[in-house]
Amino acid sequence: MPSRRRQRGFTLIELMVTVAVAALLLSLGLPSFQQAMRSNRVATTSNELMASLALARAEALKGLGPAGICRTEDGETCADGTDWSVGWLVWRQERSADGVTLVPVRYVQSVGRMSVTGPVGGLDFTVQGRSADGDQSIDIAPNDAEAPARCLSVNVTGQARLSKEACA
């Protein structure tokens, strides 16, 4: 009489149940993961802009001349327009015998898939650290969703504040 040997491994039913449970867990977890990634992109862009504004203000406070932050397309010169999604440039002004020149201090490329909307001419700081253009704001939001948006506002004294809502 043939002896029955016990076979090891998974049955087809066990494998199908495992795959179904994994698919269910993925379908529940993936939207929250995408939201976390979107929120992380917004936070990263907001922090980069805050750091750039602080650097521009510090350059102005050195007393050598005005400094600021502006939209750029090439990383070396300021460009007009409100779409800062490509990147921005921190600059300082230097005087020489030839006149006044804007010297790039730092170029920041955007994280991508972000909508960054700022003032057309950028944000300028006087040698006292004040905003040369009065109150200004930069709106930061992901391209693929309404929320979470952030508003980076700079008041006339040059202080930057970040709020967790779209700019008004």
**pLDDT tens per residue, range 45-55:** 999 999 999 99
The verdict on residue 157 lying in a domain is: yes
Residue 76 belongs to domain with CATH number:
3.55.40.10
The verdict on residue 4 lying in a domain is: no
Instruction: Record the pTM.
Output: 0.81
Question: Where does the pLDDT of residue 3 fall: very low under 50, low under 70, confident under 90, or very high at 90 and above?
Answer: low
Question: Where does the pLDDT of residue 1 fall: very low under 50, low under 70, confident under 90, or very high at 90 and above?
Answer: low
The verdict on residue 12 lying in a domain is: no
The verdict on residue 76 lying in a domain is: yes
Question: Where does the pLDDT of residue 67 fall: very low under 50, low under 70, confident under 90, or very high at 90 and above?
Answer: very high
Could you list the beta-strand ranges (E) of the chain: 67-71, 87-96, 99-109, 114-117, 123-125, 136-142, 150-154, 160-163
What SS3 state is found at 30? helix
Question: Where does the pLDDT of residue 30 fall: very low under 50, low under 70, confident under 90, or very high at 90 and above?
Answer: confident
Place of tokens 């650097």: 55
**Distant-in-sequence, close-in-space partners of 151: CB < 8 Å, separation ≥ 6:** 137, 138, 139, 140, 162, 163, 165, 166, 167, 168
The verdict on residue 24 lying in a domain is: no
Mean of all residue pLDDT scores within the chain: 89
What SS3 state is found at 95? strand
The verdict on residue 3 lying in a domain is: no
**pLDDT tens per residue, range 78-122:** 999 999 999 999 999 988 778 778 899 999 998 778 999 999 999
For residue 102, the enclosing domain spans: 35-163
Look at the chain and report how many structural domains it folds into.
1
The verdict on residue 18 lying in a domain is: no
Name which of 10-14, 25-29, 47-51, 163-167 the model is least confident about.
25-29
C-alpha span between 130 and 8 (Å, rounded)? 75
C-alpha span between 152 and 165 (Å, rounded)? 9
- Quick one: pLDDT at residue 2? 64
C-alpha span between 19 and 125 (Å, rounded)? 59
The verdict on residue 141 lying in a domain is: yes
Radius of gyration of the chain (CA): 26
- Quick one: pLDDT at residue 157? 95
Give the alpha-carbon dihedral of 156, 159, 161, 166, to 10 degrees.
Answer: 30
